[in-house]
A and B are shown apart, each in its own frame.
Chain A
Amino acid sequence: MDKQPHMRDDEVLMRVRDLKKHFQVSAGFFGQNPKFLKAVDGVDLDIRRGETLGLVGESGCGKSTLARTLIRLYSPTDGVIEFNGADLAKLKEKDLAPHRRDIQMIFQDPYASLNGRMNVRDLIAEPLEIAGIGDDKSRTARVHELLEVVGLNKDHANRFPHEFSGGQRQRIGIARAIALNPQLVICDEAISALDVSIQAQVVNMLEDLQKELGLTYLFITHDLSMVKHISDRIGVMYLGKLVEIAPNNALYDDPKHPYTRALLASIPIADPVEARKDNQDQMQGEIPSPIDMPSGCRFRTRCPLATDLCAAEEPELKELADNHKVACHYAE
């Protein structure tokens, strides 16, 4: 059963086309042959209104860089980020301001992302202040309201971040993120630093907030069990590219890319009987350097199916089944 049967399938909130973010890592000899780290290297992605789109991949695959480029913490090297009728990729800093309030981010480490010298009231009111909303009094009232929404209370407003547990700090981070009624919230490993019992609390709250406020989530994580639980669709990234994207059950039942298969086979399952069944998809080797990328298909150096074709030609992301896109010459 889909989480949101009423979801308007076709309404795209953010349309990303051929997005690239390259970092120059060495100037080269007298400026010749400079080297680039191609963190995001041509990503096409539609984020639909009201959905939770999961994004998974190993460290170094570019998923966090992609997120930071989407909210223009990084300037893209190339490509299009269509959002509310504007192309965020092309906008100048001053023209970005009105869009910034519509896209918010929740970070992994709730301690590092909250200024320890500000109390909770000021932390949560800060985005309101920057956006010039309300006066001091109305902002305080809004902070109290937001604290209730995230399961804290107004007595917490005068305290400082160090007085809270990790889970509570993440709640403060979430209150900050939703203060401006954003349309899109990007959760970058938002629950990864939390203990298992607290993760479930925060995930349930994120789901409730989505329903109440009509939020759209881009949920970035390396936790393959949680991402299946929370997402409607899931994209898999490898070395700066999307290699597969599909509705959550379709991806887990019928993974079509050899990388996705290997990734799913590695999930630690909390059941010794299941966990110790042999599976052949155990992946050898490690992710290559994004500076010296393999030719053709980026995954071919670790792929059990790779042939000459894979070295010669980079596979395109093609729709092989309903809403199920794969970039592999041999996927069917």
Chain B
Amino acid sequence: MSSAPLLKVDNLTTHFHTSRGDVQAVRGVSFDVKPGEILGIVGESGSGKSITCLSILGLLKANGEVVDGSADFEGKQLTGLSDKQLRTIRGDDIAMIFQDPMTSLNPTLTVGEQLIETIVAHKPVSRGEARKRALELFELVKIPSAASRLDNYPHEFSGGMRQRVMIAMALTCDPKLLIADEPTTALDVTIQRQILLLLKDLQEKLGMAIILITHDLGVIAEVADRILVMYGGMVMETGDVYDVFESPQHPYTTGLLHSIPDVRSHTKQRLTPIPGSPPDMLRPPEGCPFAPRCPHAIQQCLEAMPPLFERPNAKPTVHEARCWLHHEEAPKALQSIFDAPEVSNG
């Protein structure tokens, strides 16, 4: 638990310059990733979860800019590195996979050729050796009849198999950190489960850390060690995955959990949606970004940005929530909403 972090993100702030003004996509995000852990980042569209990771890797579109903060990978500052320096780190130490594997593969080359090319680009090996390594990687990600599949084109693979190919490519240089951005969102549930279990298996076998970005709390519950809940470009809650699901400390997390029907429930209960819609990041609210939709908001929430409050005696790791109701002077009646373990709607 006490090992030094692999990645340390501090006060990361990213803006997109548009004709209508600056979109404040990421607003002071800080978190650590420890070696070998799976950190799940959950949030809805526009929460800043993907932009956070693209900012770390220097993959923002031309109008995006990291205006403040830093990302430190094993003591190396990532923010401010040249494209060339970043490219080396991206290939060797940090790899990334995306939602749609088809757009990341070249349709005119066999997947074997693409994999071999990647290996040769990063390692001083012959093509013959690279092919051997490619085959190993295919077997590692459990692609059936790996040897013959190397000579297939991307369109000959199903969505799930293509995602396995992308994972194989990402593993070329034994990265210490894999960033997976909605890797299973486009896949069917049966295939989603296969890919998630594969990622978990690889993390255990290879000891690499994974940042898993998703909108689906179910995906986080399945494989993550720690969870980071994002909303309005900020971290709303973070902690151990069992701890956060059992006793969420932010009304947004609670709201998300209550928005999804419990498949184990036998009685039909009306869903409890979160009213309203997410904030406009051109002009985010001054106070807590969730306050306008929060059923428990008090005046303070609308006026001032809450800091992260640490939950006392949280185990096995720090559990924090950005909510004024945890302030010692907040009305006791409202604080009690966090006391009892949340019963899922069933």
Contacts and interface: CB of A to CB of B under 8 A. Distances in A.
B310 interface: no
A81 to B, nearest CB: 27
Contact of A269 (B221, B259, B277): B221
Given A267-B218, A270-B218, A167 B277 contact: yes
Contacts of B217: 196, 270
A197 interface: yes
Interface string B244-282: 010000000001110111111011101111110110000
Looking at A199, A271, A276, the one whose CB has the most chain B CB atoms below 10 A away is A271
Interface string A164-179: 0111100000000000
B294 to A, nearest CB: 12
B260 A286 contact: no
Given A268-B218, A270-B221, A286-B161, A225 B45 contact: no
A227 to B, nearest CB: 9
Contacts of B277: 165, 167-168, 198
Nearest to A201: B273
A208 to B, nearest CB: 10
B309 to A, nearest CB: 23
A271 B45 contact: no
A198 B46 CA distance: 13
A255 to B, nearest CB: 12
B106 interface: no
Contacts of B261: 225-226, 228-229
A59 B188 contact: yes
Interface string A268-297: 111111111000001100110000000000
A325 B266 CA distance: 20
Contacts of B44: 195-197
A204 B327 CA distance: 34
Contacts of B267: 1
Interface in B141-160: 158-160
B338 interface: no
Contacts of A272: 221-222, 224, 241-242, 245
Interface in A278-326: 282-283, 286-287
A200 interface: yes
A268 B217 CA distance: 8
B296 interface: no
Interface in A212-248: 222, 224-226, 228-229
Contacts of B109: none
A165 to B, nearest CB: 5
B126 interface: no
A229 B344 CA distance: 14
Contacts of B190: 58, 262-263, 266, 283
Given A266-B193, A268-B192, A196 B259 contact: yes
Given A196-B215, A282-B193, A268 B222 contact: yes
B189 A224 contact: yes
B216 interface: yes
A252 interface: yes
B334 interface: no
A252 B263 contact: yes
A71 to B, nearest CB: 24
B96 interface: no
B263 A225 contact: yes
B221 to A, nearest CB: 4
29 contacts: A1-B267, A166-B45, A168-B277, A196-B215, A197-B255, A197-B259, A197-B274, A198-B277, A200-B271, A200-B272, A224-B189, A224-B263, A229-B271, A252-B263, A262-B190, A265-B193, A266-B192, A268-B193, A272-B221, A272-B222, A272-B241, A272-B245, A274-B221, A275-B221, A276-B221, A276-B222, A286-B158, A286-B161, A287-B188
